[in-house]
Amino acid sequence: MNTQSSRWLALPAVLYLTVLFLGPTSVVLAYSFMRRDIYGGVHLQFSWDAWRMATDGITLGILARTVILATGVTVANLLLAYPCAAALARMSRERRALWVLILSFPMMTSLLLRTYGWLNLLPLAWRGTLPGVGLVLTCNYLPFMVLPLLKAYERADRSLVLAALDLGATPWQAFWRVTFPITLSGAVSGAALVFIPVSGEYLIPHFIGDGKVSLAGTLVMEWFDHRHWPYAAAAATWLAAIVLVPIAGSLVWKSRELSPAK
Amino acid sequence: MKQDESSTPAVELRGVRKGFGERTILDGIDLAIARGEVLVLVGPSGSGKSTLLKIVSGIETPDSGEVWLSGECCTHTPPYRRPVHTVFQNYALFPHLDVAGNVAFPLAVAGVARAKRQPLVDQALSWVHMQRHARRRIDALSGGEKQRVALARALVDQPQCVLLDEPLSALDPHLRAGTLDLLQELQSELGLTYLFITHDREEALRIGHRIGVLNHGRLEQLGPPEEVYRRPQTAFVASFLGKINWLNGTNAPAGGKPGIGICGCHIPTDGHPAVPAGPVKVGLRPEDVRIGASGRIQARVVSRLFFGDSTTIRVQTADDCELVVDQRPPSDAAMGDMVWLDWSPAAMHLFPADEIDAQANASEKEHAK
């Protein structure tokens, strides 16, 4: 099959993306430039109102908090996932499969139930705080970091670490100079899988944050509820922009990684 | 790295034992490698040679016994503090670093300043004729090039001993001879010390200053290649290091002089230190038997293989003894001819029959693989 004809294979996906994603996203972007209708919806009139609100100190503060939270959760997950993936990679195939199942089991249960569970576990003082929300998010997203990292570990040749030790690298040097670089692609995938959904998280910040932790996701929801669609649309656009940065970053990194040999 | 007086062995093992669970891998190994020496450990798979190498490099720790490197007891020293480097069978090059980055690795982790690394890396690359490829990626190299980069990486900080773990086994056959030459050249030019592991007897005989034959975790014989090949101390060593015919014989002194009877013929054994009592296994290498118009035993040619510069002839005696004979230059004997076989009594390797049978069978199976 030549490349010309095989292009048509992508047609269903392209149609799907255009109709169900690019279209609605354009509508959201367009709404952010319209005037608010107090009963919900918009007036078909151009207006800067929503963006004037969406670039004020309060909104930018909330966005900054969102970025800090998502970054923090991503870093915490990286720190937790590396030793975990390293331990899993050294297990026998059967034991590893069992542990991966145990690890990903929470993902198969109801998010709502798990979050209510956390409400009982979390000390009262942590409720309604950013670190409290961060803790629950970190726990919730750990499998998304561990699994891609584990894949990277499995691909990586264990004998390379032995070679590094043999050539004089301390275990710490062997990690930073060998293990980390050769598993970096897994860490990048995991970071994208954690950072992107955490930036838009609504449910966990809503329940654990007790309405006191405003984030991009809760912002969109609240102003949608308040029937200020243009502002909610502007906030949603902001959110998309925040998410776009790491996606673009990881794409650029991956394309460099795959560039042809010199 | 520390320079000791030259009489201190680069590597010394004292009573090293290692087992995994019930299985004994190394059963009391004593070994010393002098500075500038090439010691080859040869043995079938499962003989424990790889484990022994890992114990010297520090990746494994012996259950008992001691490892001394350049006069220091290193039994429990972690691998990264030992003055030895390994050239791995699968090369184990770092895929995220280029050629120069790989070679600079031992210097970088030892904290050598960037500016001082460059000349050392260039030098190591020139030893293996790879200086033009310093900036190439590892995945763009051929197998032979990877092997040379791995070698340069192991040599760059001039370790006290280079451990070579079957360094040629992953290479295409036509690259092996050249790589072996390079290893030999570098060893003599730079005065390197090698501990070389292989299951290939020809490699071992060619590069070793001394050869140690490992079998079931024991060092069966240790000595210069010629000595180990010509005067094997066990039947295993005799059959592992080269093709050999095993004949059944008996201790049969004649006229007060020692001798043995094989294939219905009596052969005096004046030159042999001791002939085992009772049934004897007689080992005769195919190249030690001559075919001619006269000799000790008459036999019929049952098959003949022609190799240009030599022939391999299978013969059968009247007593149903079968022998393989290599003749260089080629013999004219044809299928069905009756020929005389002759050999020097000193060429016979004598072992007590009971001790051998099991061992010889095991090694034949190994060769058949």
Identify the residue whose tokens are 């070579």.
Answer: B164
Give ipTM to 2 decimals.
Answer: 0.84
Burial class, A230, CB count within 10 angstroms (exposed 0-12 / middle 13-18 / buried 19+): buried
Q: Which residues of B touch A (CB under 8 A)?
A: 57-59, 78-81, 85-86, 88, 90, 92, 94-96, 98, 105-106, 108-110, 135-137, 139-140, 153-154, 157
Give the closest-approach CA distance of B97 to chain A in angstroms. 9
Q: Pairing between strand B11-20 and B64-69?
A: antiparallel
Q: How many domains does chain B have?
A: 2
Spatial distance between the Cα atoms of B112 and B1, rounded to a whole number of angstroms = 13
Residue A157 and residue B137: Cβ atoms within 8 Å? no
Residues in chain A with pLDDT values less than 70:
1-4, 258-262
pLDDT computed for residue B364 by the predictor: 54
Residue A167 and residue B94: Cβ atoms within 8 Å? no
Same domain membership, residue B310 and residue B226: no
Same domain membership, residue B277 and residue B181: no
Does any domain span residue B270?
yes
- Among B230, B258, B291, identify where a domain stops: B230
pLDDT computed for residue A3 by the predictor: 60
Task: Dig out the tokens for A236 from the structure.
Answer: 């949603």
Spatial distance between the Cα atoms of A237 and A226, rounded to a whole number of angstroms = 18
Same domain membership, residue B218 and residue B254: no
Task: Dig out the tokens for A57 from the structure.
Answer: 């100190």
Residue A160 and residue B92: Cβ atoms within 8 Å? yes
Give the closest-approach CA distance of B68 to chain A in angstroms. 16
pLDDT computed for residue B358 by the predictor: 58
Domain range for A245 is 51-250
Does any domain span residue A1?
no
pLDDT computed for residue B28 by the predictor: 92
Does any domain span residue A39?
no
Domain range for B275 is 243-368
Give the closest-approach CA distance of A162 to chain B in angstroms. 7
Q: Which residues of B touch A167 (CB under 8 A)?
A: 80, 85, 105-106, 109, 153-154
SS (H, E, C) B12-70: EEEEEEEEECCEEEEEEEEEEECCCCEEEEECCCCCCHHHHHHHHHCCCCCCEEEEEEC
For residue A169, give the nearest of B59, B109, B140 by CB distance. Answer: B109
For residue B109, give the nearest of A160, A177, A182 by CB distance. Answer: A177
Question: Helix (H, G, I), strand (E, B), or coil: what is residue A63?
Answer: helix
Half-sphere exposure of B129 (CA within 13 A, CB side): 8
The CATH number of residue A64's host domain is: 1.10.3720.10
User: Phi and psi dihedrals of B60, rounded to 5?
Assistant: -120, 155
Query: Which of B51, B56, B80, B195 to probe the A interface (max A CBs under 10 A)?
Result: B80
With CA atoms as reference, the chain A residue closest to B53 would be: A166
Other Cβ atoms closer than 10 A to B114: 9
Query: Which of A167, A183, A259 to probe the B interface (max B CBs under 10 A)?
Result: A167
* Axis-axis angle for helices A130-155, A111-121 (nearest 10): 120
Q: Which residues of A touch B136 (CB under 8 A)?
A: 261-262
The CATH number of residue B251's host domain is: 2.40.50.140
Q: Which residues of A touch B105 (CB under 8 A)?
A: 164, 167, 169, 177
Does any domain span residue A188?
yes
Same domain membership, residue B262 and residue B225: no
List the pLDDT tens digit at each of the 369 positions of chain B. 444 456 799 999 999 999 988 889 999 999 999 999 999 999 998 899 999 999 999 999 999 999 999 999 999 999 999 999 999 999 999 999 999 999 999 999 999 999 999 999 999 999 999 999 999 999 999 999 999 999 999 999 999 999 999 999 888 888 888 999 999 999 999 999 999 999 999 999 999 999 999 999 999 999 999 999 999 999 899 999 999 999 888 888 777 778 888 887 888 887 676 777 778 888 999 999 998 888 888 899 999 999 989 999 999 988 888 899 998 888 888 888 889 998 888 888 888 887 665 555 555 555 554
Same domain membership, residue B249 and residue B224: no
Other Cβ atoms closer than 10 A to B40: 26
Query: Which of B59, B81, B105, B155 to probe the A interface (max A CBs under 10 A)?
Result: B105
Does any domain span residue A35?
no
Same domain membership, residue B92 and residue B133: yes
Same domain membership, residue B224 and residue B82: yes
Residue B96 and residue A170: Cβ atoms within 8 Å? no
pLDDT computed for residue A261 by the predictor: 44
Closest of B15, B5, B14, B10 to residue B69, by C-alpha: B10
For residue A163, give the nearest of B88, B137, B157 by CB distance. Answer: B88
pLDDT computed for residue A245 by the predictor: 84
Residue A164 and residue B105: Cβ atoms within 8 Å? yes
What are residue B118's DSSP bridge partners? Answer: none
**Amino acid present at A216:** A
Does any domain span residue B1?
no
Identify the residue whose tokens are 């929503």.
Answer: A50
Chain pair A-B, CB pairs under 8 angstroms = 72
Does residue B29 contact residue B219 with C-beta atoms inside 8 Å? yes
Does any domain span residue B236?
no
Does any domain span residue B237?
no
Does any domain span residue A63?
yes
For residue A166, give the nearest of B86, B90, B108 by CB distance. Answer: B86
* Axis-axis angle for helices A23-31, A229-257 (nearest 10): 130
Give the closest-approach CA distance of A168 to chain B in angstroms. 4
Identify the residue whose tokens are 């429990």.
Answer: B76
Residue B109 and residue A167: Cβ atoms within 8 Å? yes
For residue A165, give the nearest of B80, B98, B108 by CB distance. Answer: B80
Same domain membership, residue B91 and residue B48: yes
Residue B80 and residue A170: Cβ atoms within 8 Å? yes
The 10 Å CB-count burial string (b at 16+, else e) for B52-89 is bbbbbbbbbebeebebbbbeeebbeeebbebbbbbbbb
**Amino acid present at B310:** S
* CA distance to B109, B230, B319, per residue, from B106 (Å): 5, 41, 64
Does any domain span residue A108?
yes
Same domain membership, residue B22 and residue B171: yes
Spatial distance between the Cα atoms of A186 and A180, rounded to a whole number of angstroms = 10
The CATH number of residue B111's host domain is: 3.40.50.300
**Amino acid present at B101:** G
Same domain membership, residue B247 and residue B225: no
Does any domain span residue A145?
yes
Q: Pairing between strand B259-262 and B245-251?
A: antiparallel
Does any domain span residue B352?
yes
Task: Dig out the tokens for B260 from the structure.
Answer: 């043995």
Q: Which residues of A touch B157 (CB under 8 A)?
A: 168
Q: How many domains does chain A have?
A: 1
Burial class, B197, CB count within 10 angstroms (exposed 0-12 / middle 13-18 / buried 19+): buried
Does residue A77 contact residue A190 with C-beta atoms inside 8 Å? yes
Same domain membership, residue B343 and residue B226: no
User: Phi and psi dihedrals of A185, rounded to 5?
Assistant: -60, -40
For residue B137, give the nearest of A167, A173, A261 by CB distance. Answer: A261
Does any domain span residue B235?
no
- Among B205, B230, B255, identify where a domain stops: B230
Query: Which of A157, A166, A180, A253 to probe the B interface (max B CBs under 10 A)?
Result: A166
Does any domain span residue A34?
no
Does any domain span residue B166?
yes
**Amino acid present at A177:** R
**Amino acid present at B234:** T
Same domain membership, residue B356 and residue B266: yes
**Which pTM value belongs to this model?**
0.82
